Structure 1
Amino acid sequence: MVPEPNNWGRFGPDDQRGTLNLLKPAVVLDALRSATTGEVLSLAMPIRGATSSPAPGTVPHLQGRPLPQHFMSVDGGDYAAGARPIGEGLRVADDALIVTHHGTTTHMDALCHMWSGDELYNGHPAARVRSYGATRCGIEHVGGVVARGVLYDVPGHLGLDHLPAGHRIPAGLLEEIATPRPGDVAVVRTGWPVVWERSRAEYWSGQPGLSAEAGRWLAAQDVAAVASDNAAIGGLNGRGMADESLEDDLHLVLLHRHGIHLIEMLWLEELAAAGRSEFVFVAAPLRIEGGTGSPLTPLAIL
């Protein structure tokens, strides 16, 4: 069996950033030319509510995952007895966040998030991923991402509001929409988050996403990252799992073999409505040392 192409060693034996290395200054400056109106759109889901309210469950998420929660100390409803005084007549409300990311809010997966055998991306030892963090390929190596974003509005291209749960996007359909340049961020809209407001049960019945061949096609185009509004880039079944074999698992194809970071659970409805297929994509994960991922707020500058 012929080994699948990968990027191991391409950016040096110690590399922990993968195809983000393609974002050289000249590529970033070229990407900035994609902005023409200066309008800025957030592509993030909200982090909403606290333990004293039902609000956390009102945002799309996968079942069985801890929800991101927002706490405040104003009225003693959560972690404190009230707003703390800082001087005569003055009080301040403090915020605290308990944030998870995988499957529960807009986030980026680090290259240490998934691996096969005993090796992470680029041959780094998987044994370096421990309960206290990953000493190789953690999210802190990402830094800031500024790139040309290319929107693949697949349901819009097909005349649909959203893709069906069982739909797996083929490479040819992406190619019909656009061919990315090296260093671009491919942003794939399935429209699935709009299903949440209609039916939680339908949202949890599965999710549409990229096929393995589409993932390999994007990797062959040298994209810097792949982003989508679904929870796993690839599709999911009703158990919240991928049906593909390990050989075709998109996290292994993209993260593990090609060093392509994944950004999941975006909100892309306003971007699709704007009718712009190219824009400046900006994102910066939290600098969590050894983190397998991080919440983030991606921006589209039109």
Structure 2
Amino acid sequence: MPKPPHNWGRWGDDDQQGALNLLTPATVLAALGAARDGRVVSLAMPIRGATSGPAPTTVPHLAGRPLPQHFMSVDGGDYAAGVRSDGARIADDALLLSPHGTTTHMDALCHMWAGEELYNGHPAARVRSYGATRLGIEHAAARGVVARGVLLDAAAHRGAARLEPADRIGAAELAEICARVGSEPGPGDVAVVRTGWPRAWAEDPALYRSGQPGLAADAGRWLAERDVVMVAMDNAAVQGLGADGRSAEDVDDDLHLTLLWRHGIHLAELLWLEELAEAAAAARRCDFLFIAVPLPIEGGTGSPINPLAVL
């Protein structure tokens, strides 16, 4: 068991949904009020198959991760098109992907842990080569995330289009952003933090891979104290990364362990937040209805998602 504070046992010894338990019917109904204009903005980056499109040069991703593979059959082409008895042809898809590091995705609570226990004390031995029999992403898919989202635009706060690789966003800066916009994430909310880092890919993929800005350790603790259900960001790992693609924090400060393992707070990574940031600035507001539903992949450590912001 981790050192306190943590949420182990808070929703029962068998809990597998973590902070999503905060999304009660009353909380969800209240979140619907954050949609005031009815404008829908997707927060996902495209999934482009490396075998059939220019994905390596157009979509941000971490080095060394397998890129999505997409094969399509079109009118009897090269995959396995079907032909109906009336002569109509059918196109189909085959998609192979590893969501972590390559797509807009949501982490399951079995994605990372320390010692021999997963979140809430579930045995780590339950994570096997064929999938996790505890805390898989299907438990998050069963209810989805329908919550109030709060945009914390760190890049705009610093007057920059994007942050630099070594930049870290601390708890004090998050508090400053909240004071400036007049709102802060609370129980049952999704904290959406913008670094602007996907812009670096268009400048130079080598720059993108030279490190990544992200949250500092105390910022993760600050968000956990506010009982958010999810932290969603446009970088690859929520916390910052060095040039080696790793975070420098130890077990006590690693944000995946603070948020996923200790508090059961789901993470969403590699979002595209540029359009949302523009719309929020124009409307002079930072809150909206946030919707994200992972695929019910049994035993999955994560799932691609298409998060929606409803303004």
Q: TM-score range by the shorter chain?
A: over 0.9
Counterpart code for 1:105 = T
Counterpart code for 2:265 = I
Separation in 1 of the partners of 2:276 and 2:104? Answer: 15
Uncovered stretches (5+) of structure 1, i.e. residues with no partner? none
TM-superposed deviation, 1:108: 0.5
Query: Contact 1:56–1:68 (CA<8 Å) still a contact in 2?
Result: no
Runs (4+) of structure 1 exceeding 6 A deviation are none
TM-superposed deviation, 1:212: 0.5
TM-superposed deviation, 1:227: 0.5
Matching residue of 1:291: 300
Matching residue of 1:254: 259
Q: More deviation in 65-74 or 232-241?
A: 65-74
The yes-or-no answer on 1:133 pairing with 2:131 is yes
What is the root-mean-square deviation in Å for CA atoms of aligned residues? 1.5
Matching residue of 1:228: 233
Matching residue of 1:13: 13
Query: Contact 1:51–1:78 (CA<8 Å) still a contact in 2?
Result: no
Separation in 1 of the partners of 2:39 and 2:303? Answer: 25
Cα 1:75–1:200 shift into 2, 3 Å: farther
TM-superposed deviation, 1:239: 1.1
Matching residue of 1:23: 23
Matching residue of 2:91: 93
State percent identity of aligned pairs: 68
Q: With structure 2 as the length reference, what TM-score do the two structures score?
A: 0.93
Separation in 2 of the partners of 1:5 and 1:11? Answer: 15
Matching residue of 1:175: 175
Separation in 1 of the partners of 2:295 and 2:257? Answer: 23
Matching residue of 1:160: 160
Cα 1:87–1:76 shift into 2, 3 Å: closer
Separation in 1 of the partners of 2:60 and 2:75? Answer: 27
TM-superposed deviation, 1:230: 0.3
Separation in 1 of the partners of 2:133 and 2:152? Answer: 34
Counterpart code for 1:160 = A
Matching residue of 1:65: 65
The yes-or-no answer on 1:215 pairing with 2:213 is no
Q: More deviation in 83-92 or 234-243?
A: 83-92
Counterpart code for 1:195 = A
The yes-or-no answer on 1:108 pairing with 2:141 is no
Separation in 1 of the partners of 2:52 and 2:221? Answer: 45
TM-superposed deviation, 1:90: 1.5
Uncovered stretches (5+) of structure 2, i.e. residues with no partner? 179-183
The yes-or-no answer on 1:204 pairing with 2:204 is no
The yes-or-no answer on 1:79 pairing with 2:76 is no
- Number of residues of Structure 1 aligned to a counterpart in Structure 2: 299
The yes-or-no answer on 1:270 pairing with 2:268 is no
